[in-house]
A and B are shown apart, each in its own frame.
Chain A
Amino acid sequence: MKKLVIFLAVIFLCASFIKDGGYQVGDKAIDFTLKNIDDKTYSLADQKNAKGFIVVFTCNHCPYAVKYEDRIIALNNKYAKLGYPVVAINPNDATAYPDDNFANMKKRAKSKSFTFPYLVDDSQEIAKTYGASKTPHVFVLQKVNNDLIVKYIGAIDDNTDDASAVKVKYVEQAVDELLAGKPVVITSTKAIGCGIKWKQ
């Protein structure tokens, strides 16, 4: 009996450890139903025409997220019509960062004329399950049969500070490769960003 308890405890520990690690490229991603800034709920399953998604964990307050706002809008303008719409998710604890609360998300989306959903991950479960650690943090998903497969994780491009000096557009490259039916060459990148503020 004692051995069984230890065995189960080890399994449990391993399982929780894996969960903390989030998704790796090639993993099946879960769908979600989250509240959008239009007060309606949004889920990936409802987007029947999409071939995949550019899921961006982002927020209002972070200077990195702000630097990328125009580039996120441009991504959606370019790829939504090709079947890869942007889905932005704000995972931050709004108590810690009032800038990131739902009212301010609405304001920001309006002032920047977001053309994509901007969802609130209030329980932070989606960010945790995906393994988002900072903002912005991108997950490119491809629909394969009825599953959503993670094809790319990481940064939008290689220069946060200066959009005009970007040499490699990582997300565009990955989505272009998926659209061409090719394997994604650079499947993950690392970037500096604002750590997601987790609820206590």
Chain B
Amino acid sequence: MSTIYSLFILLFFSTSTEDYKVSSKIETITLEQLQAKTIHPDNDTLYIVNFWATWCGPCVAELPYFEQAAKIPTGKKMKILLINLDFLSEKEKVIAFTAKKKLQNDVYMLNAGDPNMWINQIDTNWDGAIPVTVFYKSGKKVFFHEGDLTQAELDEKIQNHLTN
């Protein structure tokens, strides 16, 4: 019993300290899986999806804004998904990058095949340049933005969609 108790204490403290999840692997996600995660008609969680790549300067520059946004106590439900578009053959690079940047938001590498087939399914106005940020709420796309965002812009958009 005491072992279980100390294990519990240990778990409690290890998660409450600055215990970064430095992952040695990274999951891939298909478009269908991404949609299943973000498009829920019957729940009011705000899903924030950011498409990025390690080779994209503006993307890398705005990643900390998403990390910061995740820390804001909103009192409402919000989930941030960082969808990486590096080449699947360069997975190791992405693992090393996310570890180095200590990314706390969920990171997935998109495995969706020909972009000509899936870009339009995210948004028909998107021509394929990144970064791109999309919000989903109650089963609907409520915000689409091509290009980078400042911390202030991101925070404002989040607040708007959390209160609406």
Contact = CB atoms under 8 A, between A and B. Distances in A.
Interface in A171-200: 189-195
B116 interface: yes
A195 B116 contact: no
Contacts of A192: 53, 85, 115, 119, 128, 130
B89 interface: yes
Interface residues of A, number: 22
B133 to A, nearest CB: 14
21 contacts: A63-B87, A67-B87, A133-B127, A133-B129, A134-B129, A155-B116, A159-B114, A161-B87, A168-B114, A170-B116, A190-B116, A190-B120, A190-B126, A190-B127, A191-B115, A191-B116, A191-B128, A192-B119, A192-B130, A193-B128, A195-B58
B88 interface: yes
A146 to B, nearest CB: 30
Interface of A: 62-63, 67, 133-134, 154-155, 158-162, 167-168, 170, 189-195
Interface of B: 53, 55-56, 58, 85, 87-89, 113-116, 119-120, 126-130
Contacts, number: 51
B138 to A, nearest CB: 27
Nearest to A134: B129
A108 B86 CA distance: 23
Nearest to A190: B119
A63 B53 CA distance: 11
Nearest to A61: B55
B115 A190 contact: yes
